[in-house]
Amino acid sequence: MKRIHPNIPADGRFEPRVPLILPHDEGFMRLALELAREAAAEGEVPVGAVIAERTAGEYRVIASARNTRELEKTASGHAELRAIDEACRVRGDWRLTDCTLYVTLEPCSMCAGAVLNAHLPRVVYGAKDARAGAFGSVVNLAAYPLGFTPEVVPGVLADECSALMRGFFSSLREKRK
C-alpha cells in the first residue's frame, strides 16, 4: 500500500504521537484565558489567543488577541486570526517559525488554515471544539498533506477553558429566557 502522506500510515489510520506539554505552556495559556475573560465581559465568545516567540531559548509574547466578531461585525474576528496578523506585523514576515500559538479553544478550519499558512510550528489549545474543531475534534487539518504540519498540543488548562465557555453560553441562554 502506498502512503498518502508521511504522517498517515499506508492503511489510512492516523495515529498522532503524544504531544509534549512544556513547562511554560500553562503560563501562556493563562494569558490567553485572561483575554478570553475580557472577550466574555464584552459579550464576545470567550476565546483568547497568545503567540510566543522563541529567541535564544527564551519565550516572549509577540502578539495577543481575543474574539471581536460581535464588536467588529465580521466573520474573521477570531482571536487566532487577529493574533496571527499582529505577530506577522511584529516580525515583518508572514512566516511565524519559532513561534507557538496558545488559544483557549481548538481552532476552527478557518483559523487552522491560517496556522498552516503562517507556518506556525506548534499550536497549544485548551478546550476541544466538538462542533467546529479542526485539529482533531471534527477534522484534523494537521493530518492532511497541505505542505506544513504543526505539532498540536490539546488540553492545556482544558477544564478552565471549557468552564469559561460553558458559563458564557449558559449566561446567554438565561438572558434569552
End-to-end C-alpha distance for the chain, whole angstroms: 57
d(CA 88, CA 69): 20
For residue 38, indicate whether it is catalytic. Answer: no
Annotated catalytic residue: which of 80, 86, 106, 174? 80
The 3-class secondary structure across the chain, one letter per residue, is CCCCECCECCCCCCCCCCCCCCCCHHHHHHHHHHHHHHHHHCCCCCCEEEEEEEECCEEEEEEEEECCHHHHCCCCCCHHHHHHHHHHHHHCCCCCCCEEEEEEECCCHHHHHHHHHCCCCEEEEEECCCCCCCECCCCEHHHCCCCCCCEEECCCCHHHHHHHHHHHHHHHHHHHC
Residues labelled catalytic: 80
